Amino acid sequence: MTRIISTAFAAVIVVGLTAQIGYGQCAFEHPEKAKKFQVALTQSMFPCGVASGGGPPNATTEDGIDACGPPETFNEVAGTPDDGWQWNSKSKGTLLLKTAKKDQSGLGLDGDTDTDGGADNPADIGDVQVRLKLSNIVDQTGLLANGSGILTILVRATYRDRLNGELTPIDIPLLLTFDLVNGKTTLKSSANFPLDTLSGVAPLPRCASLEIIGIQVLDANGNSFAAPGLFLARL
């Protein structure tokens, strides 16, 4: 059975990207600048503990903390299908989010909030560039992996809505598909692309603050494969 972490991500990351425009200030609290968010990716592990959506503990750490062993990936919990993705000693993954003053989606968005195609306020539109890179990802047979994956980014946005002023809407999931070919991919997209094509949400205004609540990369079977993190290499 395929296991996917829900939008209540296992690890909550609260960081932000902000964008401002010269002809109006954002009245809500925000830093002077927060233009770039870049992280390394590491293996998503199946959590321990029923409260976290995992299995019951069957061990303890040296400090007496409940634990589960041996560790399992989401792919292993799903039965280890042959086309499931895994890391090897040469695998790498990074994600870059960077604010942009203009729309980067390629959809011709203009900041309009209706469907007439007009440009009500073409200057009031911003975006976030999305760059995902994976390399040397292999399948369960040890060969370079192939298949379609999904990058998921859960965003809590606060912005100056074009109709109703400053608001914090419900958390918005951004879903971007990509193809892994011979173990690698370079996804280049933007936040406005999934907002418009998948959610029917207007493009981001340039007075906006985006908290990154959670990030996951799902493999070809929909299993959580990668998440932001660090690996402490053995000396």
- Confidence check: pLDDT of 118 > 60: no
How remote is the C-alpha of 36 from its chain's centroid? Answer: 14
Kindly indicate the confidence band of residue 183, based on its pLDDT and cuts at 50, 70 and 90.
very high
Residue 110's pLDDT is what? 64
Lowest average pLDDT, out of 15-19, 169-173, 182-186, goes to 15-19
H runs (alpha helix) in 29-132: 74-77
Question: 55-105 pLDDT, tens per residue?
Answer: 899 999 999 999 999 999 999 999 999 999 999 999 999 999 999 988 888
Residue 6's pLDDT is what? 39
Does 110 fall in a domain?
Answer: yes
When divided into structural domains, the chain yields a total of 1
Does 119 fall in a domain?
Answer: yes
Does 41 fall in a domain?
Answer: yes
Kindly indicate the confidence band of residue 10, based on its pLDDT and cuts at 50, 70 and 90.
very low
pLDDT above 90 covers a percentage of the chain that reads: 64
Residue 134's pLDDT is what? 98
Mean local confidence (pLDDT), 220-224: 97
Does 59 fall in a domain?
Answer: no
Does 5 fall in a domain?
Answer: no
Mean local confidence (pLDDT), 141-151: 97
Rounded distance between C-alpha atoms, residue 61 and residue 66, angstroms? 7
- Quote the domain boundaries for residue 214: 15-46+84-228
- Confidence check: pLDDT of 21 > 50: no
Residue 196's pLDDT is what? 84
Kindly indicate the confidence band of residue 109, based on its pLDDT and cuts at 50, 70 and 90.
confident
- Confidence check: pLDDT of 23 > 50: no
Rounded distance between C-alpha atoms, residue 195 and residue 202, angstroms? 7
Does 183 fall in a domain?
Answer: yes
Does 162 fall in a domain?
Answer: yes
Does 91 fall in a domain?
Answer: yes
What is the torsion angle, in degrees rounded to the nearest 10, for the CA atoms of residue 185, residue 153, residue 27 and residue 121?
60
Kindly indicate the confidence band of residue 15, based on its pLDDT and cuts at 50, 70 and 90.
low
Return phi, psi of residue 199, to 5°. -105, -10
pTM value is 0.85
